[in-house]
Amino acid sequence: MEHGGDLSDAITRFGGEASAWLDLSTGINPVPWPVPDDLLRPFLQRLPARAIEEALIDAARSAYGVPAAAALVAAPGTQALIQWLPRLAPNGPVAVVAPTYSEHGRAWAEGGRQFVTIHNIDALPADARHAVIVNPNNPDGRVTPIDAIARAAKSLQARSGWLVVDEAFVDVMPDATAASLCADLPLIILRSFGKFYGLAGLRLGFAIASPEIIDQIRKALGPWSVAGPALAIGSAALRDASWASDMRREIAQQANRLDGILTTTDGSIAGGTSLFRLLRHPNAASIHEQLARNHIWSRKFTYANDLLRFGLPGSDEGFARLSAALAQHGFTPPPRER
């Protein structure tokens, strides 16, 4: 599977309507921020206003802890930013900390850059001008300490290069963000709105960096790059600190519940964040197919045939479906706590 979140292949192979599937192939929060009707309809018939975009940037600056000397730009999803950065960065090769989200390496390669994979940000090759790290990492959830990120950024600064830090899943552990480094180092942080807030269809993301770098990105994206409804909904959601705090606790509880179900397979939890869990099992391919026959879609990996990633089911019914499908495979469901 190239990516999670697209049921087209699942339906082609195993049938059923999309509504009949339990899609656990992504790390998108299944309990989205509740969107009021008045944040959608008024913005569908006019171009996005500058004031609405500025309100979103202010909300993001506050929610993400961005220092005053750093700048932000909103984009139609972080994928758009991933595509642009190799075309804007100074010439030179890039090192990608892997295994990770595959679009990073693909985007730099398609941008005509030589790239190598490394297993640790402290292992930067001497000839790498740029580097990319996902923190926390997808799919194993590994967290790179801020001091290691700062060391790498300082090393690349001496090479007039950039360090890209993809923080798509950092909302569940906000203290891990490296946003405080952006004012003084050549760091570009990517933040995804849709995953934690459960509104991936809005296609909203952010880049955080020095004003000089952000100006390059803003010019590349062009005017009206983010839809009006996304600007308005993003601004309101990012200001809802109470919802975010409650949601972090709720999804942490769901992740623990999911671990209890997955470990009935006699596999082991190989990592993840509270939005997704990574299962290591020698029969991962068989489990993936058994679940698919029950119209439950998990994420398997071409580079590791013993790994499966599971997003949160999001409801008692979803947890029960997953548990029952695994039981058909011979795994005993865990007892429910009373």
Query: pLDDT digit string (tens) for 96-125?
Result: 999 999 999 999 999 999 999 999 999 999
Give the DSSP H or E segment for 94. Answer: strand 94-97
Which of 221, 239, 257 corresponds to the end of one domain? 239
Residues 69 and 102 occupy one common structural domain: yes
Tell me if 201 is assigned to some domain.
Answer: yes
The tokens describing 121, both together, are 């940000």
pLDDT at residue number 39: 85
Torsion angle, CA of 69/74/77/80, rounded to 10 degrees? Answer: -80
Tell me if 338 is assigned to some domain.
Answer: no
| Model confidence at 4: pLDDT above 80 | no
How many angstroms from the chain centroid is the CA of residue 63?
Answer: 17
Give the chain's mean pLDDT: 94
Residues 77 and 48 occupy one common structural domain: yes
**Separation of alpha carbons 175 and 179, rounded Å:** 10
Contact 259, 334 (CB under 8 A): no
Residues 153 and 301 occupy one common structural domain: no
Contact 200, 5 (CB under 8 A): yes
Residues 228 and 246 occupy one common structural domain: no
pLDDT at residue number 3: 59
How sure is the predictor about 302, in pLDDT bands with cuts at 50, 70 and 90?
A: confident
- Domain range for 67: 38-239
pLDDT at residue number 41: 81
Residues 93 and 163 occupy one common structural domain: yes
Tell me if 323 is assigned to some domain.
Answer: yes
Residues 97 and 166 occupy one common structural domain: yes
Residues 149 and 283 occupy one common structural domain: no
Number of domains making up the chain: 2
| Residue 113: Cβ within 10 Å count | 18
Tell me if 93 is assigned to some domain.
Answer: yes
Q: pTM (2 decimals)?
A: 0.94
Dihedral pair phi/psi, residue 331, rounded to 5°: -100, 135
Which residues does 322 contact at the CB level (< 8 Å), separation at least 6?
22, 24, 258, 261, 291, 296, 310, 313
Residues 13 and 155 occupy one common structural domain: no
CATH number for the domain that contains residue 212: 3.40.640.10
CATH number for the domain that contains residue 309: 3.90.1150.10
Q: Which of 46, 49, 70 is nearest to 60 (CA)?
A: 70
| Model confidence at 329: pLDDT above 80 | no
Residues 247 and 222 occupy one common structural domain: no
Total H helices, total E strands in the chain: 11, 13
Q: Which of 286, 285, 290 is nearest to 302 (CA)?
A: 285
Residues 188 and 118 occupy one common structural domain: yes
| Model confidence at 331: pLDDT above 90 | no
Tell me if 3 is assigned to some domain.
Answer: no
Residues 216 and 99 occupy one common structural domain: yes
Residues 136 and 250 occupy one common structural domain: no
Which of 239, 273, 290 corresponds to the end of one domain? 239
Which of 205, 239, 273 corresponds to the end of one domain? 239
Tell me if 337 is assigned to some domain.
Answer: no
Tell me if 17 is assigned to some domain.
Answer: yes
Distance between start and end Cα atoms, the chain = 38
Tell me if 186 is assigned to some domain.
Answer: yes
**Separation of alpha carbons 16 and 285, rounded Å:** 21
How sure is the predictor about 6, in pLDDT bands with cuts at 50, 70 and 90?
A: confident
